[in-house]
Structure formats: C-alpha cells, structure tokens
Amino acid sequence: HQPWPGLITAYRDRLPVCDTWAPGWAPVTLREGATPLLPARALSELTGCDVHLKVEGLNPTGSFKDRGMTMAVTEAKATGKKGVLCASTGNTSASAAAYAAIAGIECAVLVPAGKIAMGKLAQAVMYGAKIIEVDGNFDDCLELARKTTATFDTIALVNSVNPVRIEGQKTAAFEIVDALGKAPDVHALPVGNAGNITAYWRGYSEYFADGVISSRPRMLGVQAAGAAPLVNGAPVKDPETIATAIRIGSPASWNQAVAAKDESNGEFRAATDEKLLEAYRLIAKTEGVFVEPASAASVAGLLAATADGWIEKGSTVVCTVTGNGLKDPDTALSSLPEIARVGIDPVAVASAMGLTE
Ligand code: F0G
C-alpha cells in the first residue's frame, strides 16, 4: 500500500505539467487531495436525496486552494520565479504562503483590510508570508496583484486566473467520480471568484469526454446574497456578507462559470447570511463536519433547491464544503450558547448535561 503522493503525482497524466518547465523540476507538495467524500446521513434524510460532502477543509492548509496551489507554486519554482503573489479573502493566502514556504520562495498576500477570518491570517503569519492589507475589497486586491505581476517578471500570480490553479482544482471532480463510481446528478458549491466551479466543470467534462462517466452533474453555484453578481447578472460594487471567503463582487472567471451553469443545465442561487449560518450550524451539529461560513453555501443551496423541487428526491448530490471551520473561530463563537461553570462536583457536571437520572 503506497502512501498518497499528492495530486500532481496521482493525476500526472491529466495535468499540464512539465511541457515548458525546467528539466528536473519536482512537485511542490504537502500531499494535498484525497479528501473524504462523506455520506451525509442527516442531510440525506432531510432532503430525500443521497447527499455526500466533499470535505475540502481536510486539505493541508484547510481548504481546497491547496489543489491549485501545488500546481501554481510548482510551476513558479520550476520556471525560476523568485516569489508568488495573490489577492485573497484568506484561504488562497494561507495556501500560497505554505507552498511558498516549502518551495523556499517569497510570498506576499494582498488582503482586504479587516475582512479576513482570524485563522487564515494566523496561517499566513506562521508560514512566513508578507501580509499586505489593502484599503479596498478583494476585487481591488486582485487588480493590484495583476498589475504588480504584469510589471514584475520575477513574481508569479497565483490566483485562480493562473490557469494551472484551475487544472489542479479539477482533480476534486476526479476524486468524486472515482469514489462514487459515477457522476452525481447535482454538484453544489459556493461561488466567489468562480475558479472552483470552473475547475469542477472541467474535471467532470474531461472524464465525460474520455468515457469515464456517461453523464455530467448539473452545477449549482451558490453565492452569498450580499455578494451575488452571477445571480444578479451584474457586478456588485460593495459586496457584503458574513461569509468573508466569498465576499467578491466581480468574479474573475465569470464567463467560465456561466458556461458551466449553461452547459450543465445548472443554476446560480443566492443564500442570505441567515440561511448560510443556519446551514453552517446544521452541518456541524448533524454531520460532525465543522466548515467555515462560506462553505455552508453549498448546503444552503441544497436545502433551498430540494425545497422548491429544482433537485428531485432520490438524486445523488455532492456538496463541496470548501474550508475548515477552525479558520473562523469568531463566527463560531458569535453564537456561543450559555456556558455552564461548575466546581469540582460530578453531580453539577451531570446536572449541566441534563443526565442526572
Ligand atoms: N469557499 C471558500 C472557503 C473560499 O475561500 C473561496 C474562495 C470559495 C469558496 C469560492 O471559490 O473563488 O473559486 O469561486 N476564496 C478565495 C480566497 C477568493 O482568496 O481564498 P471561488
């Protein structure tokens, strides 16, 4: 039994590696990928569907970004870049910082001031990235990152506008098919900058073209109501949502996301912060999976789409939960229930549990 080698080695035949890179290049990997596809018992019961969670928060830095970042930083290193730069709502910066650390190259992250979750900032600090706060939102940060990397040749842009990021991220669709033995009927996921929906659709489409699967899922892209440009059909100037990871008003992969929706006969939906938080709590309490608020968008979309019949009962549905709940302790603790406080007294403990009988 071989240990999992990381996704570049695992999916080498299906990734555009090596063509133009230096001879002797090696993957920059933290053994990302191979995340669980977890049967979601409670959500299945609730919706009448066969629901599975693709738990991407179990990647090395706690989000799906690692799939793209192993590719992007491997390429940056193999092509002689001195540093990597990204704009980020938090997860991309944590991931870029970690991969740059093991590659031994510089990393700077442009983040919207005051709008990234504490755990993500802590990660970027620990991995040794240069953190640069920008007076503006993610869209402003991305514009700045693009301009900087266009001007300075030694710095690679590692946002999902970098095509190898999408290539790495498409492997999640392969893993789902490999685990299910078929494509799901519906695939739900949160949408921010729209790289990931683009990546999943590419993954499913490649397996479909090669005859590995005989159908592709309908893609359900879920945005936060206050940051729902794809649902509205127009960019949002001042996006706002508690789900800071997807607080994005002008998705870079707009056209590809629309193509994924159209070609799959899918749809975009918006979920209010209230619905996001409901789903966020439900996933933790009923499935034992602690995700970050943005990640709950997939499940919020599932609940809405099964309630109004867009998803038929009996469907096989995969919800990607994109990031680990530990990244955003503030949101978790903002709904803190009353905490019991006792002396060294077993009866008081049992009583606090309501289990004294
Ligand atoms: N879920 C989480 C937890 C994310 O961090 C992101 C994006 C998304 C969903 C949306 O994915 O952008 O491909 O549509 N986070 C980026 C970042 C923007 O900077 O970490 P997308």
Model confidence at 357, pLDDT cuts 50, 70, 90, reads confident
- The preferred substitution site among 322, 326, 331 for testing ligand 1, maximizing ligand atoms within 8 Å of CB, is 322
Give me ligand 1 centre to Cα 32, in Å.
Answer: 17
Q: Is 301 in the pocket of ligand 1 (CB under 6 A)?
A: no
- What is the identity of the amino acid at 99? Y
C-alpha span between 166 and 292 (Å, rounded): 22
- Residues 138, 140: Cα–Cα separation, whole Å: 5
Task: State the complex-level ipTM.
Answer: 0.99
DSSP codes of every residue in 260-315? HHHHTT-EEEEE-HHHHHHHHHHIIIII---B-GGGGHHHHHHHHHHHTTSSPTT-
Q: How far apart are the C-alpha atoms of 218 and 351, rounded to whole Å?
A: 49
From the CB of 291, is ligand 1 less than 6 Å away? no
Q: pLDDT tens for residues 297-342?
A: 999 999 999 999 999 999 999 999 999 999 999 999 997 888 999 9
Please write the tens of the pLDDT for every residue from 113-139: 999 999 999 999 999 999 999 999 999
Per DSSP, the three-state class of 87 is strand
* C-beta of 90 in contact with ligand 1 (< 6 A): yes
Residue whose CA is at the smallest distance from ligand 1 atom 15: 245
Report whether residue 331 contacts ligand 1, using a CB cutoff of 6 Å. Answer: no
Q: Are 7 and 32 in contact (CB under 8 A)?
A: yes
- How far away, in angstroms, is 192 Cα from ligand 1 center? 6
Element containing residue 326 per DSSP (H, E): none
Contact (Cβ atoms closer than 8 angstroms) between residue 300 and residue 278: yes
Please give the number of the atom of ligand 1 that sits closest to the Cα of 248. Answer: 18
